[in-house]
Amino acid sequence: MRDDGRTGGARLLVVEDEATVRELLSATLRFAGFEVTSAATAGEAVAAATRHPPDLVLLDVMLPDMDGFEVVRRLRDLRVTGRGGPVPVLFLTARDRQADKVTGLSLGADDYVTKPFDLEELIARIRAILRRTAGHHTGVLTVGTLALDPDGHQVTRDGRPLRVTATEFRLLRYLMENAGHVVSKAQILDRVWHYDFAGDASIVDTYISYLRRKVDVEEPKLIHTVHGVGYVMREPRV
């Protein structure tokens, strides 16, 4: 993989308990230009990610010692970071229920691919995640007493730190970059998730709800619904 400087040579951690799949996937990703480390269990994955934080984790949900959702929880609790923020996670799983997808994404996972998958499509998704999580150097964004530091990957309100997931951070950043302008669910899906979430825009409502519980626990409320259109971030008009 040599398409740009932000994704070339990225370190990936492949977590898959089936040896044949793990070896094939690792070999394919190395051929594509990635540095690859692999793990067969959740315990090995957490240890490897803590020892040498990867730029992205490809994580099977069904593992012998604990499920992939718990792995993500532990990585977040340990504050394992990738390129400037929480390490991105792409789930690989045979479980394609919508509830499982929502669970994974609510934990801050960046994508969810069901087996069997096309290797070229998987590599394209990996590159897309790495590009959008590589970070863009810019100034601190502010709306009222809310501040977001893109470089430091920090969010505060009234100087109080707010703990947000990687996906929440991207959504909040998009809303703040467009403060005062209404953005539709389709625009949010395109800019935050970078692909059509199986036509189900309800994931946007779910994440807006998550953000409100963290950002709008005090007055004035900053995230507003424009019924039939989308959402806007602004201070209430006096």
Instruction: Give tens-digit pLDDT for 104-151.
Output: 777 767 788 888 888 888 988 888 788 776 654 457 888 888 999 887
What parts of the chain have a pLDDT lower than 50?
A: 1-6, 136-137, 196-198, 238
For domain 141-233, which CATH number applies: 1.10.10.10, 3.20.20.20, 3.30.56.10, 3.40.50.2300?
A: 1.10.10.10
For residue 19, what pLDDT is reported?
Answer: 95
Instruction: Provide the 3-class DSSP secondary structure of residue 18.
Output: coil
The confidence score (pLDDT) of residue 180 equals: 87
Task: Give every CB contact of residue 37 below 8 A, 6+ residues apart in sequence.
Answer: 11, 12, 13, 14, 48, 52, 54
The domain segmentation of the chain, as residue ranges, is: 11-134, 141-233
**What is the tens place of the pLDDT at every residue in 128-137?**
788 776 654 4
pTM: 0.57
Q: Please say whether the beta carbons of 72 and 107 come within 8 A.
A: yes
Which pLDDT score, from 0 to 100, does residue 49 have?
93
C-alpha neighbours within 13 Å on the C-beta side of residue 60:
26
> Can you give the pLDDT at residue 194?
65
Tell me which CATH homologous superfamily contains domain 11-134.
Answer: Response regulator (3.40.50.2300)
